[in-house]
Structure 1
């Protein structure tokens, strides 16, 4: 027979309310009491019914991840990190993919929040970078944590996890410059994502600091997709002054650029170096493997979710800002610039 909360309370010799507080990870329980309750939960193999708990009380034990992002690996890592935090803290996760450009998007998310009784929202780009949308969500009395690109939070609307794409991009570009590259192409991701402009600005800043002229002909605008990498690389290689290296705004774009180079019989990295960004599985599945920047999306997401749940429980009253800077990972797709070969 399935154990109930009454069984746990009886075995731990505490009240049902105390068991509930322990299960909900509330801070107002002594450690010795918490240990007794958790031991009883384990011994009885008690499984709380989170859905019933949502219906029975005034509190909600669900949070939602709202996203519109074409990068499947990014979404998988985010879901993994959010779900990890939810499981540890006794919360359910609602996944809500949608179109950020839809005319009725605010109404759609508002309806979801009300009908699903979610306590909080984890927002990633482009939603996290839409202040009017965030303001309207806050009017629903729902807690929000945003994951954003940049080194400084743009406002104090919500707690934020900031990813310093500019600095990471600067380091990648400097790595290429240190290898002797001066004609470095750049394939930009989707314009609606601030990460695109932040990574582009890191690239241009590194060029300026090394007295390398910025050529608009070496900058190609695209989307965060494999196809953009293919088209972008072909466009760059068709230029009169050809790049000796291509910096792609993410690993998927870089994989496409590498594919295009292979089609044109260009040796990587002997004739052309290619770098990506994020350290997604794309960077490890290509040949040669891609030099990239390691962005720990699952860790970022778990941190954001813990911060959100702390706000839901009123354990954290300040709009905390946490920072991450992706780190350079050097692999086989970059090498010293060739002086005796031309693409």
Structure 2
């Protein structure tokens, strides 16, 4: 049976800490209307960013909201209104650091835009996932979904959600905007993986091992393509014995490294598809008495806490996961809100940046 990763729970989140009781004298919409000397309907229009409110009235209402520290109750708004003011975050990822960063990014956007957030961990391998997400949206009256990989990259699921009228924005791995008609925020993993591999080559490494992440994630083949392209550009033959399949986990990094160490002509550098994998490689190297980086250079990807807390600290590609998730949520909310400008929201791309640390060094040439 597949073990589910730790979950925040399929419950709505409005920014309050669990177990906290409501404030006794919490300001209400009536208090705001009284302070701004306007009707309840006008306050509601300002909160919902409707364009029919005069600028001076909007400013007066917003000033009253700020002075009273008023925050709309998302559940009550959803019940009173035909329009939902909550979105869902759907993910399936074994990396807790990635999950926390995505949650924080989406939550920040929801807080800024006055939306509630429903967190929904799931098993992306179940055959009825499409029905599960459709029922989730209908049951909890969500306005839309932010889809994290790998669900965001399953086109049959994307087409099903669109056909059922469910609004969504995808976080995907792509070298450029796919321009396929479905909104997304995309991450250029391929170019960043090229930079990491090129860095190792320029340090003199010719035999560079590559440890794959999960095959269900598009980021895995994209990162491999970057590795492969860099080797080709520097006229280094691709040795398939140096390429090891696996998942985005510490254990697979450890096991993959042990396989590479057993080769007659073992690599002088290893590129792990994420920082957890690279940390597993580092642990395997220490267990085998291999000096890092003098005998073996190691690089990861994502710039997670694993990369900073390891010793030596890992060379990696800094991926702004929280910012990526925040922009995905803002992209979705922009789709949901009426726009008076007539300018349609656009997809945005992110490029992880190479971060060089102490886990990589010049290739060691054995004494002759």
| TM bracket (short chain) | over 0.9
Asked if 1:276 corresponds to 2:300, the answer is yes
Which of the numbers 87, 91, 94 marks the counterpart of 1:63? 87
Partner of 2:16: none
Partner of 2:198: 174
Partner of 1:34: 58
Aligned pairs, how many? 342
Partner of 2:354: 328
Give me the whole-angstrom Cα distance separating, in 2, the residues matched to 1:324 and 1:300. 7
Q: Which segments of 5 or more consecutive residues in structure 1 lack a partner in the other structure?
A: none
> What is the 5 A alignment of 1:1-343?
1-315=25-339, 318=344, 320-340=346-366
Contact preservation (8 Å) 1:25, 1:89: no
The 10-residue stretch of structure 1 (46-55 or 90-99) with the greater mean CA deviation from structure 2: 46-55
CA 1:26–1:332 in structure 2 vs 1: closer, same or farther (change >3 Å)? farther
Distance apart, 1:154 and its partner CA: 3.7
Distance apart, 1:107 and its partner CA: 1.3
Give me the whole-angstrom Cα distance separating, in 2, the residues matched to 1:241 and 1:340. 13
Q: Which segments of 5 or more consecutive residues in structure 2 lack a partner in the other structure?
A: 1-24
Contact preservation (8 Å) 1:271, 1:341: no
Distance apart, 1:33 and its partner CA: 2.8
Contact preservation (8 Å) 2:211, 2:244: yes
Give me the whole-angstrom Cα distance separating, in 1, the residues matched to 2:314 and 2:49. 42
CA 1:273–1:39 in structure 2 vs 1: closer, same or farther (change >3 Å)? same
Give me the whole-angstrom Cα distance separating, in 1, the residues matched to 2:116 and 2:101. 17
Contact preservation (8 Å) 1:158, 1:319: no
| Helix, strand or coil at the partner of 1:196 | helix
The 10-residue stretch of structure 1 (95-104 or 243-252) with the greater mean CA deviation from structure 2: 95-104
Give me the whole-angstrom Cα distance separating, in 1, the residues matched to 2:113 and 2:303. 28
User: Normalising by the residue count of structure 2, what TM-score does the alignment of the two structures yield?
Assistant: 0.89
Contact preservation (8 Å) 1:311, 1:317: no
Distance apart, 1:11 and its partner CA: 1.1
Let me know the Cα RMSD of the aligned residues: 1.6
Contact preservation (8 Å) 1:288, 1:333: yes
Distance apart, 1:106 and its partner CA: 1.2
Which deviations, in whole Å up to 9, do the C-alpha atoms of 1:230-263 show, x marking residues without a partner?
0010101111111000000000000000000000
Contact preservation (8 Å) 1:163, 1:323: yes
Give me the whole-angstrom Cα distance separating, in 2, the residues matched to 1:187 and 1:143. 35
Distance apart, 1:141 and its partner CA: 2.0
CA 1:335–1:157 in structure 2 vs 1: closer, same or farther (change >3 Å)? same
The 10-residue stretch of structure 1 (205-214 or 102-111) with the greater mean CA deviation from structure 2: 102-111
CA 1:2–1:190 in structure 2 vs 1: closer, same or farther (change >3 Å)? closer
Contact preservation (8 Å) 2:33, 2:43: yes
Contact preservation (8 Å) 1:125, 1:147: yes
Distance apart, 1:97 and its partner CA: 0.5
Contact preservation (8 Å) 2:28, 2:70: yes
User: Normalising by the residue count of structure 1, what TM-score does the alignment of the two structures yield?
Assistant: 0.96
The 10-residue stretch of structure 1 (178-187 or 319-328) with the greater mean CA deviation from structure 2: 319-328
Contact preservation (8 Å) 1:65, 1:95: yes
Give me the whole-angstrom Cα distance separating, in 2, the residues matched to 1:67 and 1:320. 23
